Chain A
Amino acid sequence: MTAILEAQSISMTIGGATLVDAIDLHIKAGEMVAIVGPNGAGKSTLLRMLSGDLRPTRGQIKLKQRDMHAYPPRLLAHHRAMLSQHVNVTFPFTVEEIVHMGAGDAGRATAQRLVDAALGEVDLAHFSHRQLPTLSGGEQQRAHFARVLVQLACGEEQHGPGLLLLDEPTSSLDMRHQIDLVETARRRAQNGTAVIAVLHDLNLAMRFADRIVLLHRGKLAVDGGRAEAITAETIRRIFEVDVTIDYTDQGVPFLLPQTMRPAGPPTA
């Protein structure tokens, strides 16, 4: 598989503090990668650098063999789409109008087809004429995910599979829609899209990704398959929590923190 994204020793220093320190990442087409780590490890900063939003103070990022910052914004949007964690919309746009924003310069018929498909995928077709600010946080997050899916699909029609970046995409979603989102992302990966998500929940990360990138104090601590990346020893060292790791029937690891005192018997 070809490399979609190559980050070569990228660093970000702001006001003397190094938030991200010399990280190398190579992401191939069709890979699903989860970026995890404790608070302040530099996950969101790394993701913003990989999106082209922040320019690394050192190092270089190549998207499809071309310097990321050499792309004009419109062309860059054809090759990578990004879902931010908090998007606050002040004007009463409808869900459909918001999702349409992902279509950019696509023709009217193409745009409408992609918008309808994306609204169906995030289970919001019945809300398409609702004003976005009147929806719940989770519903808004799904609407923005649909917008990003439209952008990704538009780019794919012209330039082939690209890069999908997700910053805490499941933070306000209920369990069913978390699963839907992961499944939707996986379908994109099967078509060749490289998917990178910052995730908080390690269990979800192990469900989501083939490959886990664990950050600690701005440095790359571990980069590998979920079984090698997430061990009780690594979790203790980096998160300072004791965990037991068990496996589902399909061999997917899951973990339970042990440091926390379990709840006592219910008092009657």
Chain B
Amino acid sequence: MTALTDAGAKRRSGYALRPPASLTLICLLAALAGAALVALTMGAAGIPMARLPAALGLWADASASPTLARDQLVLWSIRIPRIAAAAMVGALLAASGAIMQGLFRNPLADPALVGVSSGGALAAAAAIVITDSPIGQSLHFMQNQLLPIAAFAGSLVTTIALYSIASRSGRTSIAIFLLAGIAIAAIANAGIGLLVFIADDRQLRDITFWMLGSLSGATWPKLAALAPVLGLALIACVWIARGLDVLVLGEAEAFHSGVDVERLKRISIVLVSAMTGVAVSVCGVVGFVGIVVPHLLRLAIGPAHRLLLPASMLLGAVLLVGADTLARTIVAPAEMPIGVLTAAIGAPFFLGMLLRQRGLVSL
């Protein structure tokens, strides 16, 4: 009891308690497994926990019963790819938010908030319209590969523009950064609006999907685009973690401490763009995951990126698997766009952060 009160008092007076890294990761992995298990059982076609092992095809023969055959079909061709996509997209969005916040030394940065996702969505929407038009018809067969690449390119252009506007000789103004992000998001949204205007009905449905964000289009081939980017991001996170830590001191100080700042910035920008871009190409614009997850984790485990980045991936995955399960059950048999759900939860959270950190944003 006294130990608990002591801990509370210490935290209030600015003492930081850091739980061990292994414990953090094990807890998050357990939470992810739990969320995935619940997500497997819920949906338009409910599969109770008791039928789950058989439905997964672990030890039953599908030809034995029609219910089992249906369960297996639902799980393997719809639900499992969707849950996997939700987990991977959540991991990518949360970690790219954390990297972006480290790069801009600003806890309020989020790829969706400052237009990086919109830039990716604009490029993806443009790719849809072009590959569907008579001129781009020859490219239509590779739309699956083209969308992530286009979204990556769009996100990259946006991030570079944002960085060059907000940074002057190594210092980043947080206010300019957020305002520039709003302007860039507005430009991208105007572009999407124009595409909506010229699109035909079928293209329109595809484009609307990008603007609201949904995981309903998740299929195995789309997972094949997510997995390599996630793998690369995992490796890169270990590599850039120390640099991002030291960058919190400022660019000149990071250089004095032996960090190759220019290279770190280049890697981070490409990484944020690739992670956001490929996530956007699979499920459209899903906001606020990248701001909520790293913020909560910094409170719980501290800001050191070596643990923050992998933990963000795990918690982002948990959050999005949960949110997607909610999105597809809350108004069943219809489906709520997941971007709407994350914005409804995340935007008030962001406002709360803004109120607590007013001092950070000064013109």
Contacts and interface: CB of A to CB of B under 8 A. Distances in A.
A239 interface: no
Contacts of B227: none
B304 to A, nearest CB: 6
B140 interface: no
Contacts, number: 86
A104 B258 contact: yes
A264 interface: no
Contact of A74 (B106, B250, B260, B304): B260
B151 to A, nearest CB: 29
B255 interface: yes
B248 interface: yes
B260 A73 contact: yes
Contact of B248 (A51, A73, A76, A90): A90
Contacts of B107: 90-91
A134 interface: yes
Contact of A134 (B14, B245, B250, B302): B14
Interface string A45-57: 0001001110000
Contact of A53 (B15, B256, B298): B256
B258 A84 contact: no
A84 B253 contact: yes
Nearest to B259: A73
Given A78-B258, A92-B298, A102-B257, A84 B14 contact: no
Nearest to A51: B256
A104 B256 contact: no
A89 B248 contact: yes
A165 to B, nearest CB: 8
B250 A131 contact: no
A93 B256 contact: no
A104 B107 CA distance: 24
A81 B303 CA distance: 24
B250 A84 contact: yes
B245 A101 contact: yes
Interface in A73-107: 73-78, 80-82, 84, 87-94, 97-98, 101-102, 104
A58 interface: no
Nearest to A86: B250
Contacts of A52: 255
B16 A73 contact: no
Contact of B15 (A78, A88, A98, A131): A131
Given A94-B16, A97-B304, A130-B14, A74 B252 contact: no
Nearest to B170: A53
Contacts of A151: 257-258
Given A130-B14, A131-B14, A84 B302 contact: no
Given A87-B250, A87-B253, A101-B246, A93 B258 contact: no
A90 B14 contact: no
A195 to B, nearest CB: 15
B360 interface: yes
B249 interface: yes
Nearest to B108: A90
Contacts of B13: 130, 134
A16 interface: no
Nearest to B104: A90
B256 A91 contact: no
Contacts of B79: none
B255 A129 contact: no
A53 B16 contact: no
B302 A94 contact: yes
A90 B258 contact: no
A72 B107 CA distance: 30
Contacts of B250: 84, 87-88
Given A74-B258, A76-B258, A93 B302 contact: yes
Given A88-B250, A92-B298, A97-B302, A73 B105 contact: no
A93 B260 contact: no
B269 to A, nearest CB: 18
A233 to B, nearest CB: 37
Contacts of A104: 257-258
Nearest to B250: A87
Query: Which of A88, A101, A134 is packed against the most chain B CB atoms within 10 Å?
Result: A101
A74 B245 CA distance: 15
A90 B256 contact: no
Contacts of B298: 91-92
Interface in B255-288: 255-261
Contacts of A53: 252, 255-256
Contacts of B18: 94
Interface in B6-54: 13-18
Nearest to A89: B248
Given A75-B258, A84-B256, 8 more contacts: A73-B259, A90-B248, A97-B302, A101-B249, A104-B257, A129-B15, A130-B13, A147-B257
Which 5 A/B pairs are nearest by Cβ-Cβ distance? A77-B258, A134-B14, A91-B303, A74-B258, A82-B256
Interface of A: 48, 51-53, 72-78, 80-82, 84, 87-94, 97-98, 101-102, 104, 129-131, 133-135, 144, 147, 151
